[in-house]
Structures are given as C-alpha cells and as structure tokens.
Structure 1
Amino acid sequence: MRLIMTTATPKYASAVILLRRDPTGVWRFFWAKRAEATPFLGGYHAFLGGRRDPEDNHIPVRHATDAEHAAQCVCAAREVFEEAGVVLADGRLTDAETRLAARADLMAGRVTFAEICARFDLRIDARRFTPAGRWVTPAGVPRRYDTTFFISELDFQQEPRLWPEEMVDGNWMTPSEALDAWARGAIRLVPPTLHSVRSLLRWTAEGAARRADFERLSALFHDHPAARGEPPAFIELAPGIVTFPLRTPTLPPATHTNCYLVGDRDLIVIDPASPYPDEQTRLDAHLTQLADQSGARVREIWLTHHHPDHVGGVATLSRRWNAPVAAHPITAKLLDGQIPVARLLNDGDACELSAAALVAQGLVPATWPGWRLRAVFTPGHARGHLCFFEETTGTLFSGDMVVGLGSVLVDPDEGDMADYLDSLQRLLGLPMRAIAGGHGPALTAPRAVIESYIAHRRQREARIVAALRDGASTVPDLVATVYADTPPALHPLAARSVQAHLVKLMREGKARRRSDGRLELTDVA
C-alpha cells in the first residue's frame, strides 16, 4: 500500500535529434543529461526538446503540411533555442553572443519567442525538421507527453550551449559510444532515446549515413510500434533488464505495478503483479516472443513481498511456465494456501545469469559478465520484504521500499517504522546506480532519493513529537496537525502512518498511552 499521485493526460511536445558529421566523416548526435531536479525523468540522458507552448500555434512555418505540423516544428525550434541556444531557422540571429543574449532574455521572460523571431527575421522551414517518430508516455505516471521527434542537421557555425537549469553534460556522441555507456550502466535512457540511438547505429552500419540519407534514417526511426504513437509495453532499463508495467488493483488513482525481467535465456521474473487476464496475456505474449527469439525460459519468480498488488499474477505465470516461486520465509508464510513458494530466499542469497544470448547478438561486449541478483532483507513496509540488487548494472529492485512515484505507506499491522528506517539506512551501503521501484519510473540518483526518504520520515516524526508537546493526544488530533496539507480523503491512510511512528516512539520510551487512552510524551522525549 502507498500514497500515489495521479496519472496525467499527455501534453504535446517536440524533441530534436541534432546530427553533425565530424571532420573525419563520422556522424554524431547531440544529447545531454536532464538535471536531477527536473520533474520529468531527471537524471536521464535525452535529446533536446520539451512541451509545446500556446504561442507555438501562431508562428508561421514555411512548407508545413498543416497547422499541427507547423506547431510541432515551432515547438522543436523554440525548445532547441531555449535549451541549447541554437537557432534552427534562417534569419539574422547568426552571432553567438547575440544568440545567447536573446536566449537569456527569453528564459527571463523579458521577450517571447515570437518577438525574437520578428526582431531577427527568423524564418522556420519545416523541411529542416525530418520526422523521426511520435512517442507517447505510458499510463501510470503523473507527467505524460505526446512527443513528435525530428532529425535536424547542425553545421559548425553554431555550438550548443546548454541552459543549466534544464540540461547538463551535453556532448556529441556516436551511436556505439552511447550504447556502450548504456550497457555499462553509466547512463539511463527511456525507450524513445534507446530506439533512436539503435536506429542511428543501423543507419551508419547500412552505409546510408555516407549518403546523408535522412529519408532512410526517418524510416528506421519509425520502425517500432511505439514510434507511431502506441505507448511502449515495456522499458529496457539496461541490457537484460526490462520493466513491464502491469495494471493492478492498487490504491487509486494509481493503476500499475512494475514487473521486472532479468536475464536473457534464463529469466528471473520479479513481481508478476496483475490478477487481470488481459494483463497476464500481455506478459505471457512478451515471454513467448523471447522464447521464440532466443529460447528464453522463466527460471524462477522472485517476490519482493506479499501485498496483492505485487503477487496477483504469480500463480498463473508459475503454472504457465512451470516456474518455481522464491520469496522470504515470512512472505512464504503469509502466502501459504494462496501461492506455493518452492524456495526460501534469505538475506544474501544470490543467483547468476549468463549473458550468452546478448553477447551472440552483439548487444553487449564479449566481456559482459552477465547478471548477479542478490536478495537484501529490508523489513519495514512489509515484515518479509526483500529488495534485489543486480551487481553488474548496480540496479536495485526496491519493491515498495522506495518507489518512483508517490510515497511509501508503513502500516503498523503490516510493517514497522523503525525497521523501515533501518532498512533504508542499510540500502545506502549498496553501490547503486539506479533504483527500479515497484511503481513509477526508475530513479537515477539512488543515494539522494534514499537520504530524502530518511530525512522525510525524521521530519514527520519530529512534527508528531512537536504536536504531542503542544497538547495533541489522539491519533485524529495528530493527523489534523501533522497532515494538515493532505486531502481529508487520505487521512485514514495518514492515520496508519502516524500510528507506525507512535509504535516506534513508544518502543523507544519517548511516548506512552495514559490510563484514559490518550497519548503523551515521556520525560525521555
């Protein structure tokens, strides 16, 4: 159980893949890392781009097919100018110093992009923007975009200069360099970026790059169902690590729980969560495709914990693929009579998975060591909770200990606040590069996230202590004070969290319940 933010309606956006042939004749593309504080996919590497503004609909574009196409191109040109100070238009804004000054005025709100276009006679031409697909963010996250991608060639007269509040560490990369960095776990990519880089690699391998055949490149970019506006069914976090979001009966307005696949021919499936037949069929179809392509099999099903929104599809998947289930002994006991657990996972238990299939396909270097998945006992959210740490890529599968969306609920009937804080502290000792939680996108700054979780719980506890000191003496009193900024509909869940903190404070001798049932602090507090 957890508190989750709502899923949004997709907003229109544009993105641009800037290309340039270096002096040796090698094609490179420009990208950057989204600032960690960026609300949408902070810490991920991405192309330049962003959300469409209303004024984008009113700036003229030459050779656009219709008004929608024109707005897409204007959005692309404006975003590249905002983020990189690059002008993808003809006109009089050719001096670098003047460009950057105009960009600063735009970002400060002193002028609009339309005013800059008028002042410098900028003329946007749709022919400069080669279509490269349309991607829609999957459901189940609070920020979603319907993004049109473009290819645009940039000469050496301009050099990107990033606006640091949005993007950092910009550079020109070859596709092979980018994929090597992704395979090492040094960077994180979302599906459209990963597909685009792979398309660029195919383009260069085919020889079409030598002819600067952007029409062929456009076709390669569109050669994916999700590049034609169909939300991707799964996300490749790293080589051999796939997120497969499944619709589950979780707390509204949330809709999905992340199932994970780790390996290539031998697969560990983590939390096949959905009880819904259509969702189980989607997952089964994906596994069947992997089996047909590379002989993949489900070696084992691993469970993070026993909550219904994490185990709803376990029995069906286990029967279908003759796959044994592994879980912590406490989880196994809680699931007794519902799901047969064939193997007990204790802290430190691990399995190794070969990467032979990916090596044979050339998707990872021949020296790739495969995957080593290790169980980490993390009671707190649930008494039998396990996280799984993949050592090669540094990926932590955190279940409901840490999530990419919302906040974790610690219910005293299900878990323990002191254990939860101890478990978070223990996770800080792992050499993590990313956290793949039970809900929401992967997190690329794992230490900062966990430290913020700990600080948040400590602050919440301090507010409870302060409220008790000021005279609050019942759980409803504490909820009204400590969760004053929380919608009343969520107060029953907030009450469970308050009770979890109270159990911890009482165990530490800092609070007690009087004979009349009311709460108070002790002298220790």
Structure 2
Amino acid sequence: MTDQPLFETVHPLVRRVLAQNPSPFTYTGTQTHIVGHGAVAVIDPGPAIAAHVEAILAATAGETIVAIVCTHTHRDHTPAAQPLAAATGAPVMGCAPIPARDGSGLEAGFDHSYAPDRVMGEGDTVSGPGWTLEAIATPGHTSNHLCFALPEAQALFTGDHVMGWSTSVVVPPDGDMGAYMASLDKLSPRDDLIYFPAHGEPVTKPKQLLRGMLGHRRQREAQIVRILGEGPRSVPEMVAQMYAGLDPRLEKAAGASVLAHLLDLDARGRVRATADIWSLAA
C-alpha cells in the first residue's frame, strides 16, 4: 500500500480507493467509492483485506460513514462490509443476499456471510448532505445486482454490470443473459453523464459504451446460432471455435458466457440440448 495513493478524487463528490486484489476478473482490483463529504456513503467496500479496510478508514478520517452500500455479493465486493461496519457503526445496505447455491469456481464466488441491515430495491434511496443514492435494479451479472444513481452528479455507480475495462461475466445458474441484456437496455434511455464502475476507469461516454456492449452480445449470439447451423456442438467445442487464442485462465468464463447465451436462446425456443450437446431447434 505504501506506493499507492490513499484515495483518488474522480469527481467533486466522489473518491475511490483501490483494493489490492488484481486478477483476470478484477482487472487492477476492486474500486471502493466514497460519496459526499462529512457524512459519506461507501459503495462496494470490497474484499476482506485488512489493509483495504484501513485505507477506507484513513480516507474518511474525520468524517462519518453513514451508509455502506453494496451492488452485489461477489466476494471481491462485500466481505469488507462487516469489519467496516464494526469499526464505524454504519449500517450495511443495498443488494439482497443470495442463497448458498453457487459453486461455479469462477470470479470470486458469492459472499454468503453478507447480512445487510437494509435491503434496497428499485427506486429506494439513501442520502446525506449534498448527495442521494437511488437503487436501480440491474439483474443479469448476478440476480441481485443493483446500480446506484447519484443525481447530483448525473452519475451512475455500475458495480460489475457495466465495467470500464471489459464486458461482465454472466455465469449460470445465478447469472442470466436475458436479464443482463434487459438491464443494459434499461440504462440506455437514462441521462447519466458518467459511470463509475467497480473495475476500470470512469466511463465518460456511457451511451456509446452501452451500444457497443449490446452489439457485442448480439454478435456472440449470432455467432452461436451460425456455429450450430453447421451441426450440433458441445460448449467446449463452441468455445474453441469462438475464442481463438484465449487466455487459458479465462476458458471457464468463456464457457459460462456461451452457456448463458444458449440458455437464453433455449428459453426463446431457438436452440435445444440433448445431454451436453446443443443444436438448433427444429
């Protein structure tokens, strides 16, 4: 931590503290955002790394944390909520917990110790002097994912729904490609000027990025349909054909993404599966 700045100001109302947990899924690490001054909110407190909790406390020294807000319960986002709440007395709020059913081995997995004092849903708010956070339900990356609008800055904290460096991984059974696409569409008409993601730099052209993300997913779907038009395939066979030169560490994630597309196509009656082999629906 000694070579890292304590925090970085990314907007007059927003500071961020970078957790030291870089990986193929977290990029440079999870970014915890601090909103406001004096009485502040902490968004996505991050992983249970003692030095990161200490950095958040140091960045807010002399201030009062009035809300610890969580976008979703992957273990690189919420475990620090408990020690931060214990140190400050601040309530934990935001996304709902997810039942203990994951086991994909991808990303960080879910934090099943997460126990919010307040579960927030669409349109719910928490506020402090000069700031308001409004929950926007954006399921897909996870079933419980929320974004948080900051109307005073025409900004949106997008968690892992929209990131500043890569598209989100959608891992069934909790991740749902149909819901993810609908949640991207949901953001399109909003007037946000900037997105603050949990990974990657702020997004200063959000509408352009949304168009690109939606287009990318539709291209992947069309690619899957085209491959299955050549004959039945397993998911690993499709991954090998679709992702030439892929980093081996990301093969499982690519397989999960392909499966998520297939399940969405299946729900729409366009493909079907026999055992682990997929084909176009008759």
Quick one: structure 1 residues 337 and 382, their matched pair in 2 at CA, closer, same or farther if it must change by over 3 Å?
A: closer
What do residues 99-124 of structure 1 show as CA deviations (whole Å, max 9, x unaligned)?
xxxxxxxxxxxxxxxxxxxxxxxxxx
Q: What residue number does 1:275 align with?
A: 48
CA contact 1:246–1:257 (8 Å) conserved in 2: yes
Q: Does 1:481 align with 2:241?
A: yes
Q: Secondary structure at the match of 2:207?
A: helix
Quick one: structure 1 residues 469 and 332, their matched pair in 2 at CA, closer, same or farther if it must change by over 3 Å?
A: closer
Shift in Å, 1:512 = 0.3
Shift in Å, 1:250 = 4.8
Q: Secondary structure at the match of 1:308?
A: coil
TM-score, normalization: structure 1?
0.50
**Which blocks of at least 5 consecutive residues in structure 1 are unaligned?**
1-138, 140-224, 355-369
What do residues 81-103 of structure 1 show as CA deviations (whole Å, max 9, x unaligned)?
xxxxxxxxxxxxxxxxxxxxxxx
Q: What residue number does 1:312 align with?
A: 79
CA contact 2:94–2:118 (8 Å) conserved in 1: yes
Shift in Å, 1:406 = 2.4
Give the number of aligned pairs: 273
Shift in Å, 1:255 = 4.2
- What is the rounded CA distance, in whole Å, between the counterparts of 2:193 and 2:39 in structure 1? 23
Q: Secondary structure at the match of 1:309?
A: coil
Normalized per residue, the structure richer in helix is 1
CA contact 2:27–2:200 (8 Å) conserved in 1: no
- What is the rounded CA distance, in whole Å, between the counterparts of 1:233 and 1:449 in structure 2? 29
Q: Does 1:441 align with 2:178?
A: no
Q: Does 1:245 align with 2:18?
A: yes
Equivalent positions of 1:413-424 (< 5 A) are: 413-424=173-184
Q: Does 1:508 align with 2:268?
A: yes
Q: What residue number does 1:233 align with?
A: 6
Shift in Å, 1:333 = 5.4
Equivalent positions of 1:301-450 (< 5 A) are: 301-329=68-96, 331=97, 338-354=113-129, 370-450=130-210
CA contact 2:123–2:136 (8 Å) conserved in 1: yes
Of structures 1 and 2, the larger Rg is shown by 1
Shift in Å, 1:485 = 4.0
TM-score, normalization: structure 2?
0.90
Shift in Å, 1:245 = 1.1
What do residues 366-425 of structure 1 show as CA deviations (whole Å, max 9, x unaligned)?
xxxx22211000000000000001111111100000111222100012310000000000
Quick one: structure 1 residues 253 and 423, their matched pair in 2 at CA, closer, same or farther if it must change by over 3 Å?
A: closer
The amino acid that maps onto 1:342 is D
Q: What residue number does 1:519 align with?
A: 278
The amino acid that maps onto 2:34 is L
Aligned residues: CA RMSD: 2.1
What do residues 460-501 of structure 1 show as CA deviations (whole Å, max 9, x unaligned)?
111011011012421111111111242344222111111000
The amino acid that maps onto 2:81 is V
Quick one: structure 1 residues 316 and 250, their matched pair in 2 at CA, closer, same or farther if it must change by over 3 Å?
A: farther
The amino acid that maps onto 1:383 is S
Shift in Å, 1:286 = 1.6
**Which blocks of at least 5 consecutive residues in structure 2 are unaligned?**
101-109
The amino acid that maps onto 1:314 is A
- What is the rounded CA distance, in whole Å, between the counterparts of 1:249 and 1:236 in structure 2? 20
Quick one: structure 1 residues 498 and 332, their matched pair in 2 at CA, closer, same or farther if it must change by over 3 Å?
A: closer
Shift in Å, 1:266 = 1.6
Q: What residue number does 2:29 align with?
A: 256
CA contact 2:69–2:94 (8 Å) conserved in 1: yes
Quick one: structure 1 residues 383 and 250, their matched pair in 2 at CA, closer, same or farther if it must change by over 3 Å?
A: farther
Shift in Å, 1:238 = 1.5
Equivalent positions of 1:10-29 (< 5 A) are: none
- What is the rounded CA distance, in whole Å, between the counterparts of 1:287 and 1:453 in structure 2? 35
Bigger shift: 259-268 or 233-242? 233-242
The amino acid that maps onto 2:213 is Y
Identity between Structure 1 and Structure 2 (%): 32
CA contact 2:228–2:278 (8 Å) conserved in 1: yes
- What is the rounded CA distance, in whole Å, between the counterparts of 1:507 and 1:253 in structure 2? 30
Quick one: structure 1 residues 418 and 298, their matched pair in 2 at CA, closer, same or farther if it must change by over 3 Å?
A: same
What do residues 256-302 of structure 1 show as CA deviations (whole Å, max 9, x unaligned)?
101011111221110110311122212211222xx1xxxx2111111
